[in-house]
Amino acid sequence: IVDLDFPNTTESYKLYCQRVIASDIKECVCRAPDTPYDESAYSNIPMTPYELPDGQVIEIGADRFKTPDVLFNPSLVQTIPGMENFAENIPFRGLPQMVIDSINKCDVDIRRELFSSILLAGGTASMQQLKERLEKDLLEESPQAARVKVVSSGNATERRFSVWIGGSILASLGSFQQMWFSKSEYEEHGASYIQRKCP
């Protein structure tokens, strides 16, 4: 990393720019491996070039497979240099297990429908092979009767902002507006007021 002097810019802007670059690398170069990451299997993988905004070209090797696999095997994060002590005592769950746990917390009658309509949204959903790997892992861990189907929009902009798009549609519905409550109502009744207003 070469620090350049840009007058009248803040640390927060610099951090934002670094995150934008990291996000672009994640979406353009990274690829979820078909099977759990194995160091020896990816030791001879060819390097992939990525051009930074300043024109400098970096080469990314096996890390483009290892980093996405952290979503499926969180303990892998401790093998990344500088992250050895990260979350030693915190039991993180992989993405497939979080999806299954979320579905299992829902009513039994709708679980089958939820397994067949899992929607990927956000920037990470643009990562290559993420949809296929998640579907494969869910098929292995889900109940036998469940038909697992993971979907994501083909349009990159829609995929990235689908949560906001859905939220704006929901907020514009007349039936949803009846469920709104003010800040003063929340302060008076607390969080439990949500259950009374939206049973």
Residue after which a domain boundary falls, among 33, 68, 92: 92
98: in domain? no
Q: How many CA atoms lie within 13 A of 71 on its CB side?
A: 23
Note the pLDDT of residue 20: 92
127: in domain? no
Res. 92: pLDDT tops 70? yes
113: in domain? no
Q: Which residue has the tokens 């956000």?
A: 122
The tally of domains found in the chain comes to 2
Residue after which a domain boundary falls, among 71, 92, 113: 92
**What is the domain extent for residue 66?**
1-92
The CA distance from 124 to 112, in Å, is 25
48: in domain? yes
**In this predicted model, which residue has the larger pLDDT, 190 or 16?**
16
Note the pLDDT of residue 122: 83
pLDDT digits (tens, 9 = 90+) for 19-40: 999 989 988 899 998 888 888 8
Q: How far is CA 94 from CA 69, 106, 123, in A?
A: 9, 19, 18
Across the range 76-97, mean pLDDT stands at 75
Note the pLDDT of residue 4: 67
Res. 13: pLDDT tops 70? yes
Residue after which a domain boundary falls, among 92, 108, 130: 92
pLDDT digits (tens, 9 = 90+) for 46-78: 999 999 988 889 999 888 898 889 889 888 877
CB burial class (10 A; 0-12, 13-18, 19+) of residue 139? middle
The lowest-confidence range among 28-42, 83-97, 110-124, 155-169 is: 83-97
Across the range 145-153, mean pLDDT stands at 85
Mean pLDDT over the full length of the chain: 85
103: in domain? no
Across the range 138-165, mean pLDDT stands at 84
Note the pLDDT of residue 3: 66
Note the pLDDT of residue 48: 92
In CATH, what number is assigned to the domain containing residue 3? 3.90.640.10
79: in domain? yes
130: in domain? no
- Per-residue confidence at 2, pLDDT binned at 50, 70, 90? low
Note the pLDDT of residue 67: 87
73: in domain? yes
pLDDT digits (tens, 9 = 90+) for 100-134: 999 999 998 999 899 999 988 888 888 888 999 99
